[in-house]
Amino acid sequence: MSEEKNLYTFENPEYRKTYWHTCSHVLAQAMKRLHPEVKLAIGPAIENGFYYDFDTPEPFSETQLAELEAEMRKICKEKLKLERFELPRAEALALMEEKGEPYKVELINDLPEDAVISFYRQGEFTDLCAGPHLDSTGRIKGNAIKLTACNAAYWRGDSNRQTLQRIYGVAFPKKDELDEYLAKIEEAKKRDHRKLGRELGLFMLRDEGPGFPFFLPKGMVLRNTLIDYWRQVHKRYGYVEISTPMMLNRQLWERSGHWDHYKDNMYTTVIDGTDFAIKPMNCPGGMLVYSSQPHSYRDLPLRVGELGLVHRHELSGALHGLFRVRCFTQDDAHIFMTWDQMKDEIKNVVRLFDEVYSVFGLSYQIEVSTMPEDHMGDEKDWDFATETLKAAVEELGKDYVINEGDGAFYGPKLDFHLADSLGRTWQCGTIQLDMQLPERFELEYVGEDGEKHRPVMIHRVVLGSIERFIGVITEHFAGAFPTWLSPVQVKVLPVTDRAAEYADQVASKLDNMGFRVEVDHRNEKIGKKIREAQLEKVPYMLVVGDRDMENGTVSPRHRADGDLGAMSFDEFAALLTDVVNTKAKK
């Protein structure tokens, strides 16, 4: 009985999608009531709500969105029944032409000849739609609807077609659920890594280089600390590090298959009459490194890491802070192994992921992506690789979901969806099995039998890209990075000019111990210095005054815990050392 009940709650993703899809029709009906001249395009449910595209020359103001919300609430109160009906092509076209809906006419014309053409009617409003929908607008809680934005969008995503206005919305079965969601959205705005990146002096984005981020001094400290940690972990897990060229010739990219499948996303040039491309990924260079010398089964598994700067041509409208850029550093690794080493290597990578993600307080869900239709290679190999992925995860006691048909063309994969402090998910880590590149590059090793064999390979990233991961953890920590990662770990705040020299001595001793420290020598009140250090998200502030000079003490304050009380320098240094060495999350 409870399972049946859950079918009609937001715990069921299909019900949630149907609910939001119906909301998009309510939005379209409200639009036609208030603005009958507006033409309808499409209105699907999406991951976090719904939208509808309208042909209207101007974006809608907040006042107009509020008016649409009010009309949507009226429609919900009217409890209009949603009725599905089908029409032959000619009658369907005539209906939409009569209603003056040219976008619907185009959609019908583009349907296959044998397609079922269905509509949904609610009151006076009818829309072309495959469904499904709720049975009544009364199922929607009117006071739990919110229209969140209005942005420009191209008809059918084509920049050469009509510019439409896309209105986004979200709705929930209960008002308090909407309030909770909107509170998270407001908190997410405060944590926006683009905003915090400016305020904290981490990075900048300029029109002179769209999609090509500039890292500032404090951002470089953060970046290099993250990279240092990456290197430490990978050394412990048995990886060697390489670096491959940023630009390689067309012949290599044709051999790897990227020229045919990825050319439009690659930056190319001509050198000495030969086509070259800036690398969009590190893999082909890694193949050349492996093939540069002979290998025995005793060398395997061979774990090879690379922090490679790659470039991809992303459309300008898709660029988004550090989350979507045109150049980024992939924390790549390629593992060359025998088929019977596959499961143990997968488990080894998952353990590495566990260690890294736990340091940042990030939980995750694993997705197993299986063979797509346009796959390469033998299906038996695919089945073996997919079952090996599942078995490795199960033996580690991990849960997973199946993402049917979403594997790479060369092999199945595990995707790791990280959950941050706001419950948002980010796809960062991936483990991809590849049976094809070793074949294309004719990679070999000599087995115990003295014969040559083809290795199998894992592609994997743990952070995804250094830039994007910095964006993720900036929002996850709201800019208040753990002490070990913070660009400035300690700020020494002299209370008076008399304490300035002592403040410098304290800072110098901390600096010599390897800590990142600054001194605020400004002629400002101590309260203002503390407030500004708090805004800069500095983990520890050392307030030093006359008494500290006399006693050789410091008075630390933590940005979250407040005043820690006076202590000796050695006591504070020991505290700081422990926090940094254990990578505590404070």
445: closest CA among 375, 333, 341? 341
Active-site entry in 32, 234, 311, 312: 312
Nearest-angstrom CA–CA distance, 318 and 12: 30
Active-site residue identified among 311, 334, 375, 491: 334
Give CA torsion, residues 170, 176, 180, 181, to 10 deg.
-10
Q: Which two tokens stand for residue 137?
A: 């607008």
Q: Which of 413, 516, 557, 559 is catalytic?
A: 413
Question: Which one of the listed residues 53, 127, 332, 420 is annotated catalytic?
Answer: 332
CA distance 105 to 93: 6
To the query of whether residue 332 is one of the catalytic residues in this protein, the response is: yes
How far apart CA 159 and CA 177 sit, in angstroms, is: 37
Distances (CA, A) of 351 to 200, 263, 354, 392: 33, 35, 5, 11
User: Distance between CA atoms of 503 and 494, rounded to whole angstroms?
Assistant: 6
Q: Is 330 a catalytic residue?
A: yes
From the list 129, 150, 283, 327, the catalytic residue is: 283
Per annotation, catalytic residue among 104, 258, 459, 516: 459
Residues ≥6 apart with Cβ < 8 Å to 56: 35, 38, 39, 164, 165
CA-nearest of 504, 484, 483 to 492 is 504
Largest CA distance in the chain: 94
Taking alpha carbons only, the member of 409, 365, 410, 415 closest to residue 389 is: 415
Residue 284, preceding peptide bond in cis (omega within 30° of 0) = no
What token pair was written down for 221?
């400290």
Q: Is 311 a catalytic residue?
A: no
Question: Catalytic residue at 283?
Answer: yes
Residues belonging to the chain: 586
Q: Hey, what are 397's tokens?
A: 């006691």
Q: Comparing C-alpha atoms, which of 176, 149, 133 is closest to residue 26?
A: 133
**Of residues 29, 330, 341, 436, which has the active-site annotation?**
330
Q: Are 583 and 484 in contact (CB under 8 A)?
A: yes
Q: Could you give phi then psi for residue 268, rounded to 5 degrees? A: -125, 160
**Is the separation of the CB atoms in 371 and 436 below 8 Å?**
no
For residue 460, give the nearest of 297, 350, 558, 550 by alpha carbon. 350
Buried b (16+ CB within 10 A) or exposed e, 546-581: eebbeeebbbbbbbeeeebeeeebeebbeebeebbe
Q: DSSP secondary structure string, 401-425?
A: EEETT-SBTTB-EEEEEEE-TTS-E
489 among known catalytic residues: no
Inter-residue contact 489 to 539 (CB < 8 Å): yes
In the residue annotation, 413 being an active-site residue is answered as yes
Q: How far apart are CA 92 and CA 193, in angstroms?
A: 48
Q: Is 334 noted as a catalytic residue in this protein?
A: yes
Q: What tokens does 362 get? A: 């990030």
- CB within 8 Å of 216: residues ≥ 6 apart: 201, 202, 203, 204
Instruction: Report the alpha-carbon distance of residue 501 to residue 510 in Å, rounded.
Output: 14
Residue matched to tokens 């030093």: 544
Strand partners, 519: 492
Active site residues: 283, 312, 330, 332, 334, 413, 459
